[in-house]
Amino acid sequence: MEIAERSRARVQERLARLEQEFGSTPVDQTTFSVGGEAYQRAVERSREGQVDVHAFVHNESGDVLLRDTDGSWEVPKGQTQGAERPAAAVKRVVTETAGVECTVQDAVRATICGVRNESDSNAETVYRLSIVFNAKINGAALDDGDGTEAVDETEASIRWDDASDVAVAELV
């Protein structure tokens, strides 16, 4: 029970901090099974206290920033590092992955994810936290006219899409 208890306590601590910073945020819980390698990654990320963050970054028109990730368009996402707060991680992840700066406005939803090892039924469930944030781009969004933009030396592409086309449910 050690892994389950510690990971659950970390999640509860992060949720308490999130509420202090952003007020009440809807919280969902889900449990799923993954292979042994993915389970070990979840255990390590839990030990390190990492939180998964997803960013709905809006431009002045209300469109949402998407980035090209191996041929599919996704909102910027990543994990906290060390003692980094989730909102600070959003700013860092958006800058690193999309080449733009943003201001975090609020937390949209938090999901407690129970991760089970599908190849070892005796392994404890490890708990992770995933948070979806709304943010606003700092400054004007540049666009080359076709909905995409090359970003610095990262060769990443971004585009802006109508917010109604991007579903929160697909993120977690």
Question: 152: which 2 tokens?
Answer: 């610095």
Inform me whether the pLDDT recorded for 169 exceeds 90.
Answer: no
Tens digit of each residue's pLDDT (9 = 90 or more) over 107-158: 999 999 999 999 999 999 999 999 999 999 997 655 444 444 444 434 458 8
* Euclidean distance between CA atoms 69 and 151, whole angstroms: 14
Question: Which single residue is written with the structure tokens 């999640």?
Answer: 11
- Given a contact cutoff of 8 angstroms between Cβ atoms, the answer to whether 124 and 3 are in contact is yes
Sign of the CA dihedral with 11 first, then 84, 27, and 25 last: positive
pTM, two decimals, is 0.86
| Domains located in the chain, CATH noted | 2-170 (3.90.79.10)
Task: Specify the 3-state DSSP secondary structure of 152.
Answer: helix
Distance CA 129, CA 30 (A): 10
User: Residue 16: how many CB atoms within 10 A of its CB?
Assistant: 10
Higher-pLDDT residue of 13 and 148 is 13
Residue 51 scores a pLDDT above 60: yes
Contacts of 34 (CB under 8 A, 6+ apart): 42, 115, 116, 117, 118
